[in-house]
Amino acid sequence: LINGNDEAVNNLLNKMQKISRDKGYTVYTPEFTKGIIYAMENEGTKAEESLRKALQNDPDNKDIMGTLAWCLAKFNVNLDEAEQLLAKSQPKETDNLGSSYVKGLISMNRGNLEEALATLQQVKDKSSIWNYKICSTITKIESSLANQNAK
């Protein structure tokens, strides 16, 4: 994907979609999948563009809304929009680990480090899946708090 061969990527994504569809799994569009891959490769602008295209094509898709919110929070852009998308992406009575993680990132990027730390610590305590990413983010926040307290 990163080498710019979009035709090869699209062919691969189409094959993955067919396999997923044949097995009864949720099938995501190539734009959505590319957005996730770009985000994981720290290509924030490309990730945002792909996810926005995916959302434009399916404006009520809550998975895309939540993923775009994560992307915006991950790259510290449009945090108000990230919050709005996050709120739209799930029922108000629901608070899943993914949305809590995004809320923690938003708090961190806004400088609300204590709030971010508390939120992400709760996510870490409830999940073993994201442990490395959460722990590295928590360590970053703790370091920032230590630096603030040292001043």
Instruction: Write out pLDDT tens, residues 76-104.
Output: 999 999 999 999 988 765 568 888 999 99
> Length of the chain, please?
151
pLDDT at 124 over 90: no
Residue 108 CB neighbours (<10 A): 22
pLDDT at 27 over 80: no
Task: Specify whether the CB–CB gap between 49 and 36 falls below 8 A.
Answer: no
pLDDT at 3 over 70: no
pTM for this predicted structure = 0.80
Contacts of 124-130 with C-beta under 8 Å, sequence gap 24+, read: 126/97, 127/97, 130/97, 130/101
Q: Nearest CA to 27 among 70, 60, 63?
A: 63
1-15, 27-41, 69-83, 111-125: which is most confident: 69-83
Tell me the per-residue pLDDT of 28-81, one tens digit each, with 9 for 90 and over: 778 888 888 888 888 999 999 999 999 999 999 888 999 999 999 999 999 999
Separate counts of helices (H) and strands (E) for the chain = 8, 0
Model pLDDT, residue 25: 67
